[in-house]
Amino acid sequence: MPLTFAILIALQIAPGGSPPASTSVAPLPIRRLAQGVYAVPGDSGRGSEGRPNAGFIVTDCGVVVVDALASPHHGRQLLEAIRSVTRQPIKWLVLTHHHPDHHFGAVVFRRAGARVVAHPDRRVLVAEAGEEALVAEWTRVVGADAMRGFELANSADRPVTGDDTLRLGGRTIVVTHPGAGHSPGDLMVWLPRERILFAGDVLVEDGVTMVVDGGTKPLLGALALIEALRPAIVVPGHGAILGRPGELVALTRRYFTGLRSDMRAAVEGGVPMRRALATLPPADETRPVSLNSRRRRNAVRVYLEEERAYMGLESP
């Protein structure tokens, strides 16, 4: 599989053309979720194939940004969106994980003075060939114009591996590692007073988040944690922002528990992986993060998990 295709699959981003070369950057549209709390929704209507969601929290002492989008260009558009509501300094950038579509715009916020809150485990499958190769491939995905001024900026100034609480301008912002469900470096941002959760890619609009960098057991644990928080609003990593997040959590759990029992039955029945996957519709060659493509990649991962469990190598 060509690396670019693998990147697109693993990162849940659709190929897109380069933005026009221009010095002026249009702010992205924003959506106010509560007083001082904003989402910057990804492309509406494209679900997991669209731009990721981001967000920001405005306090009297500065701004906390959640995710930095896929390139310096997108980062600047996000910064302009923030500047459309406040001139407060950017204090913190929280990264929900280390996939390029969520952090390749981080340098923009670092240059604006932000310090980075992130999980220190930055391992992701797409960087297997090294960071340089990843950046080169990613530039082909988003375009050289969008990547102008790029520098890696996702190492943590404030590493979080458990729970951490940012207190800024009278606001309480909890950053928590829910386990390595979507990726080893997953973080979620929880606003206890407003009951708003930025879930990163632990949740995506159609319930089929990718676990190729993580695993189903920690993913199911993360879902239980989200349920226990009882959020009023959840901003998923990609797709529509839902006012009834319980339904998306239930949908995601149903998908993964179903996939696990299907793959377990296949392993126990001695069905080889290729035949177990044959029951799924084929991946869409030209839409690497379409529903069918994601389902297939996850099925491979879950088959391997069940196989290891069957051999007694790890608990399911």
The span of 132-140, 198-206, 218-226, 273-281 binding Zn ion (CB under 5 A) equals 198-206
Task: Provide, rounded to whole angstroms, the least separation between the CB of residue 16 and Zn ion.
Answer: 16
Task: Provide, rounded to whole angstroms, the least separation between the CB of residue 59 and Zn ion.
Answer: 27
Task: Provide, rounded to whole angstroms, the least separation between the CB of residue 149 and Zn ion.
Answer: 23
Task: Provide, rounded to whole angstroms, the least separation between the CB of residue 8 and Zn ion.
Answer: 11
Which C-beta is closer to Zn ion: that of 53 or that of 176? 53
> How would you classify the pairing of strands 233-238 and 196-204?
parallel
Say how many CA atoms lie within 13 Å of 315 toward its Cβ: 2
Task: Provide, rounded to whole angstroms, the least separation between the CB of residue 101 and Zn ion.
Answer: 7
The span of 108-116, 173-181, 197-205, 247-255 binding Zn ion (CB under 5 A) equals 197-205
- How many residues touch Zn ion under the rule CB under 5 A: the total is 2
- Print the binding letters for residues 96-135 with Zn ion: x by CB under 5 A, - otherwise: ---x------------------------------------
**If we measure between CA atoms, which residue out of 211, 281, 153 comes closest to residue 9?**
211
The full DSSP string for 31-93 is: EEEETTEEEE--STT-GGGSPPPEEEEEETTEEEEE---SSHHHHHHHHHHHHTT----EEEE
Which C-beta is closer to Zn ion: that of 93 or that of 266? 93
Which C-beta is closer to Zn ion: that of 99 or that of 177? 99
Which C-beta is closer to Zn ion: that of 99 or that of 217? 99
The span of 27-35, 184-192, 195-203, 295-303 binding Zn ion (CB under 5 A) equals 195-203
CB-CB contact of 210 with 294 (8 Å): yes
> Of 199-228, which residues contact Zn ion (CB under 5 A)?
201
Phi, psi of 169 (to 5 degrees): 50, 40
Which C-beta is closer to Zn ion: that of 51 or that of 99? 99
205 alpha carbon, distance to own chain's centre: 12
The region that residue 208 occupies, defined by phi over 0 for left and psi between -120 and 50 for alpha, beta otherwise, is beta
Task: Provide, rounded to whole angstroms, the least separation between the CB of residue 269 and Zn ion.
Answer: 33
Which C-beta is closer to Zn ion: that of 201 or that of 305? 201
The span of 140-148, 158-166, 193-201, 273-281 binding Zn ion (CB under 5 A) equals 193-201
Instruction: State how far the alpha carbon of 128 is from the alpha carbons of 114, 125, 131, in Å.
Output: 28, 5, 8
Euclidean distance between CA atoms 50 and 34, whole angstroms: 24
Burial class (CB in 10 A: 0-12, 13-18, 19+), 251: middle
Task: Provide, rounded to whole angstroms, the least separation between the CB of residue 11 and Zn ion.
Answer: 6
Which C-beta is closer to Zn ion: that of 59 or that of 290? 290
The two three-digit tokens of residue 187, written as one number: 């973080």
> Of 267-296, which residues contact Zn ion (CB under 5 A)?
none
> What stretches of the chain show up as alpha helix (H) in DSSP?
3-11, 72-83, 100-103, 106-111, 131-142, 144-147, 216-229, 245-268, 273-277, 291-310
Which C-beta is closer to Zn ion: that of 49 or that of 201? 201
Instruction: Show Cβ contacts of residue 159 under 8 Å, excluding neighbours closer than 6 positions.
Output: 118, 119, 120
- Print the binding letters for residues 80-99 with Zn ion: x by CB under 5 A, - otherwise: -------------------x
Task: Provide, rounded to whole angstroms, the least separation between the CB of residue 6 and Zn ion.
Answer: 14
Instruction: State how far the alpha carbon of 240 is from the alpha carbons of 16, 90, 129, in Å.
Output: 20, 26, 33
Residues that bind Zn ion (CB under 5 A): 99, 201
